[in-house]
Amino acid sequence: MYVESLDKPATDPVLVYFNGGPGGASIFLNFVGMGPYVTYDGSSNLSPWPFSWNRRANLLFIDNPAGVGYSFVQRDFDIVSNDYQY
């Protein structure tokens, strides 16, 4: 579906992106292809990205499991580290 209008967050859809795992925090995607800024040379210099997904949708990035990226838990015991933990 092609959407003619841009930058209308009140009526744009919400895209939810789940990411996680060692070295796979969702915040990384803000700077390599989905978010409003990009680093072209791998440095800390940010440039606006005209093709950002947030021009057509609201973006929600969720890190999982707990302990990945900016997610956190109250107790270290709650960090899931294998497929057998609940």
pLDDT tens digits for range 66-81:
777 677 788 877 777 7
Indicate whether 6 belongs to any domain.
no
- Which amino acid appears at position 56 of this protein? R
Residue 20 domain boundaries: 15-67
pLDDT of residue 49: 83
Indicate whether 55 belongs to any domain.
yes
pTM of the model: 0.62
Q: How many domains does the chain have?
A: 1
pLDDT tens digits for range 9-54:
889 999 888 776 655 666 677 677 787 888 877 777 888 888 888 8
Indicate whether 75 belongs to any domain.
no
E strand segments, 1-86: 14-19, 37-38, 47-48, 58-63
**Distances, alpha carbon 3 to alpha carbons 6, 45, 74, in Å:** 8, 31, 42
Indicate whether 30 belongs to any domain.
yes
